[in-house]
Amino acid sequence: MRHGRPTGHVLDGQDPSLAYGKTSAAGPPLVLLHGLGARWQVFQPLMMRLDKQFQQYAPDLRGHGMSARTPGHYGIRDFVSDTVRFIETMTEPPVSLYGHSLGGWIGLMTAAQRPDLISALIIADSAIYPADLDPQLVVSYLADVPVALRSLAKSLDQLDPEVMTHFRDGRMLANYAPDKLLSEVACPTLLIQGDESQGALMSDADVKRAMYLLRDARHVRLEGLGHALHVEDTEVVAAEVLSFLKPLPVLKTDPHGHYSS
């Protein structure tokens, strides 16, 4: 079976402009948010594998890839605002949202604050409680993946250095309160945890606390896969995404997050 390759576009006319990849197949909308230092192309293998199942969109976060730089404005609320605008402009909400690493933090806050936009949330190897997280470890997967995948390191060349400054000095996550956010998420949520021995960042403690606070949560641990799990084994991650999303009904929500078929 041939899978369509996502194509690159730019959402202009808004501030900031956002580059994004999309697939052309019909289906329920799935939005993918990349991690710190990455760009939308990190999802290309996964998007191709899921091409027949979903209409997919993957934006470059501000300051990443080909999206506009916004010096001094790289807080998580800025990323959430962009995500909300992107979903409202490019899709027919509600959408399923897959967030990896930083994308998982953004997805969590978006789902908590705008339940009308998100029907299902997948948090892929985010350190949900990121206290004392080493900034270099967060982006190390972009350089340490196998030789065939090292083109991903181009993401770091396109990254606004201020993004990392905001992360290192704490400004990026100044308004990130995981306990509160987890307790406010109403939609079904899947935690995809990698293998800490392989460099994964979602800890057992993260999972235990999140599963306690989330209303409708599922969890899977992928042994042998590190932080770049959807790149390291696209087939396994795609299978987990499908297993989680396919049985869920296609829902609409009102502004208060109340669902209807």
Structure token digits, residue 190: 């899947």
155 in a structural domain? yes
Give the CATH number, domain containing residue 168.
Answer: 3.40.50.1820
CB neighbourhood size of 162 (10 A): 16
Domain hosting 77: range is: 7-247
How many domains does the chain fold into? 1
Greatest Cα-to-Cα distance within the chain, rounded to the nearest angstrom: 47
Please report, in tens digits, the pLDDT of each residue of the chain (261 residues total). Answer: 456 789 999 998 888 999 999 998 889 999 999 999 899 999 999 999 999 999 999 999 999 999 999 999 999 999 999 999 999 999 999 999 999 999 999 999 999 999 999 999 999 999 999 976 776 667 666 665 553 355 456 777 789 999 999 998 889 999 999 999 999 999 999 999 999 999 899 999 999 999 999 999 999 999 999 998 999 999 999 999 999 999 988 655 554 444 455
Query: What's the full length of the chain, in residues?
Result: 261
Asked, for residue 255, whether it belongs to a domain, the answer is no
Residue 1 within a domain: no
Identify any residues that bridge with 20 across adjacent strands, giving them in sequence order: 9, 59
- What's at 191, amino acid-wise? L
For residue 226, which of 192, 184, 254 has the smallest C-alpha distance? 192
